[in-house]
Structure 1
Amino acid sequence: MSVEAQPGAHERPYSVRHEITQGALLILPAGLGMIPIGIAFGLLVVQSGLPWWMAPALSFFAYAGSLELLLITLITSLTPLVTIAAASFFVNFRHVFYAFNFPLKVVKNPFLKFYAMYSLTDEIFAVTVANPKGWTQPRVISAGAVLQICWVGGGLIGVLLSSFIPFQIRGLSFALCALFITLTLDACRTKQEIPSLLLGAAAFGLALLLLPSQPIFAAMIGFVATLAARYTIAVRLTRPLPAEMESDDAA
Structure 2
Amino acid sequence: MEQPHKGRHAFSYALPIMIPMGISFFFIGLGFGLYATSQGFPWWVPPVLGIVIFAGSMEFVTIGLLMGGFDPLTALMLTLFVNGRHIFYGLSMLTKYVNMGWKWFPTVFWMCDESFAINATTKLPDNVDEKWFYFHISWLNGLFWAVSTFAGGLFGNLLSDFDLRGVGFVLPGLFIVIFIEMLLNAKNKKTRIFGISGMVLALVMLILFGKQAFMLISMISMLATCYVAYKWGGVRID
* Counterpart secondary structure, 1:25: helix
Question: Matched residues in 1 for 2:140 and 2:221: separation?
Answer: 32
Q: In the alignment, which residue of structure 2 is the partner of 1:249?
A: none
Q: In the alignment, which residue of structure 2 is the partner of 1:207?
A: 205
Q: In the alignment, which residue of structure 2 is the partner of 1:61?
A: 52
Larger Cα-atom Rg? 1
| Equivalence map 1:7-86=2 (5 Å) | 15-78=6-69, 80-86=71-77
Question: Matched residues in 1 for 2:45 and 2:214: separation?
Answer: 28
Question: Matched residues in 2 for 1:171 and 1:78: separation?
Answer: 31
1:145 is aligned to 2:139: yes
* Counterpart secondary structure, 1:235: coil
Letter in 1 for 2:147: G
Contact 1:188 1:194 in 2 (8 A): no
Question: Matched residues in 1 for 2:160 and 2:133: separation?
Answer: 42
1:184 is aligned to 2:176: yes
What TM-score does the superposition give when structure 1 sets the normalisation length?
Answer: 0.75
Letter in 2 for 1:105: V
Q: CA separation of 1:78/1:179 partners in 2, compared to 1, >3 Å: closer, same or farther?
A: farther
Quick check: 81-90 or 69-78, which moved more?
69-78
Question: Matched residues in 2 for 1:132 and 1:86: separation?
Answer: 36
**Which ranges of structure 2 fall in alignment gaps of 5 or more residues?**
none
How many residue pairs match? The answer is: 224
Contact 1:21 1:139 in 2 (8 A): no
Q: CA separation of 1:124/1:155 partners in 2, compared to 1, >3 Å: closer, same or farther?
A: same
* Counterpart secondary structure, 2:158: coil
Q: CA separation of 1:81/1:156 partners in 2, compared to 1, >3 Å: closer, same or farther?
A: same
Question: Matched residues in 1 for 2:159 and 2:27: separation?
Answer: 16
Question: Matched residues in 2 for 1:170 and 1:22: separation?
Answer: 31
Question: Matched residues in 1 for 2:159 and 2:89: separation?
Answer: 38
| Equivalence map 1:161-240=2 (5 Å) | 161-165=155-159, 175=168, 178-189=170-181, 190-191=183-184, 192=186, 194-208=192-206, 211-212=209-210, 214-229=213-228, 233-235=234-236
Contact 1:42 1:55 in 2 (8 A): yes
Identical residues among aligned pairs (%): 21
1:204-225 deviation line (CA, Å, top 9, x unaligned): 2342455457222111111222
- Deviation for aligned residue 1:165: 4.8
1:79-104 deviation line (CA, Å, top 9, x unaligned): 62221122112222211111233321
What TM-score does the superposition give when structure 2 sets the normalisation length?
Answer: 0.79
1:6-63 deviation line (CA, Å, top 9, x unaligned): xxxxxxxx72210122233333321221111111111111012222211011111111
- Deviation for aligned residue 1:122: 0.3
Q: CA separation of 1:44/1:183 partners in 2, compared to 1, >3 Å: closer, same or farther?
A: same
- Deviation for aligned residue 1:230: 5.2
Letter in 1 for 2:225: T
Question: Matched residues in 2 for 1:132 and 1:58: separation?
Answer: 33
Contact 1:93 1:217 in 2 (8 A): yes
Letter in 1 for 2:142: Q
Q: In the alignment, which residue of structure 1 is the partner of 2:120?
A: 129
1:94-146 deviation line (CA, Å, top 9, x unaligned): 11111233321142x1x421111111100011112221546522221111111
Q: CA separation of 1:83/1:167 partners in 2, compared to 1, >3 Å: closer, same or farther?
A: farther
Question: Matched residues in 1 for 2:195 and 2:173: separation?
Answer: 12
